[in-house]
Amino acid sequence: MEYVYAALILHKLKKEINEANITSIIKATGESANDAQVKALVSALADVNIEEAIKAAPVAVAAAPAAAAPAGGGEAKTDEAAAGKSEEQAMEGLASLFG
């Protein structure tokens, strides 16, 4: 997974996604890069439009926490508008990670 993250970092910074750059990012973390995995990733991404792949990727959104029960012991009502807004904010936050 760290190799994919390295490729996304390079894409975000508008740098070439190649073996040397991915290896440099992995080494900067203090880990050693597996040359076979780096080569496989660069080869797999050669014909991929990363920007389109990011836009098309399904995004998992964490569910909003349930509302606390009222003091009178009645059932708590879910505020659908607030849940929708939370989901929208989460999507915006994730989108900002990739441009």
User: What CA–CA distances, in Å, run from 33 to 16, 48, 49, 63?
Assistant: 18, 22, 24, 36
Per the listing, tokens 């990727």 go with: 57
| Count of Cβ atoms closer than 10 Å to residue 22 Cβ | 25
pLDDT above 60 (res 13):
yes
Quote the pLDDT of residue 58. 82
Average pLDDT over residues 39-62: 86
Query: What CATH number does domain 2-56 carry, 1.10.20.10, 1.10.10.1410, 3.40.50.720, 3.20.20.110?
Result: 1.10.10.1410
pLDDT above 90 (res 8):
yes
pLDDT above 90 (res 91):
no
pLDDT above 60 (res 29):
yes
Task: Supply 3's token pair.
Answer: 């190799």
Please state the domain extents for the chain.
2-56, 58-99
